[in-house]
Amino acid sequence: MTHGHQEPDAADRGLALKALSLLRRVGAATHEWHRTNLNEGFTVNQALVLHHLVIHGDATPSGLSEWMHITRGSVTPTIKRLEDLGLLTRRADEEDGRKQWLSATAEAHEIAPEVEETVLRPVLQEFRTWTPEELRGFTAALEKLLAGPVFGGRA
């Protein structure tokens, strides 16, 4: 026993270590895929922000960072780049001038399907054989893991 938590038995510990190893492999593969596909013009984060704004409508930077499960500081350069490209606009909240809303421009709506096809489709294809139940279970397991203190305590 350590700090009131029960240690897993040897078999469970082995599975947990295998899961950690696989997560590391997924992270490394994702990073490598992202790095080698930047020549397509858009990063995964940029494609996700475009997708969200086009499909779901206006959002705040904080709302986007929550949806993407990244920090506000991590989403800021993505927003700035898309703004520089003329793909999103900002406007101050009418009730709270410190709060900003982001909107997709007409050009963003035009190019979003192509960006999604180029940047996101290859990853989405990896899930094509998964059932909705499998994907829900996988997502729930990842959210449970990310809720733990080692992974930032937020899902």
* pLDDT tens digits along 67-119: 988 888 889 999 999 999 999 999 998 888 888 999 999 999 999 999 888 88
- Judge whether 15 lies within some domain: no
- Judge whether 65 lies within some domain: yes
Asked if residue 7 has pLDDT above 70, the reply is no
- Flag whether 46 is in a domain: yes
Q: Which residue has the higher pLDDT, 83 or 149?
A: 83
Please give the tally of structural domains in the chain.
1
- Residue-wise pLDDT for 127-148, tens only, equals 999 999 999 999 999 888 888 8
Asked if residue 127 is part of any domain, the answer here is yes
- Position 28 in a domain: no
CATH code for the domain of 58: 1.10.10.10
Question: Has residue 99 been placed in a domain?
Answer: yes
Got the DSSP string for 10-77?
Answer: HHHHHHHHHHHHHHHHHHHHHHHHHHHTGGGS--HHHHHHHHHHHHH--B-HHHHHHHHTS-HHHHHH
Indicate whether 23 belongs to any domain: no
Domain coverage including residue 133: 42-147
Strand partners for 2: 5
Does 2 have pLDDT greater than 50?
Answer: no
Residue 100, amino acid: Q
Give 31-56 pLDDT, tens digit per residue.
777 676 665 578 888 999 999 999 99
Residue 3: count other Cβ atoms within 10 Å of its Cβ: 4
In this prediction, residue 6 carries a pLDDT of 62
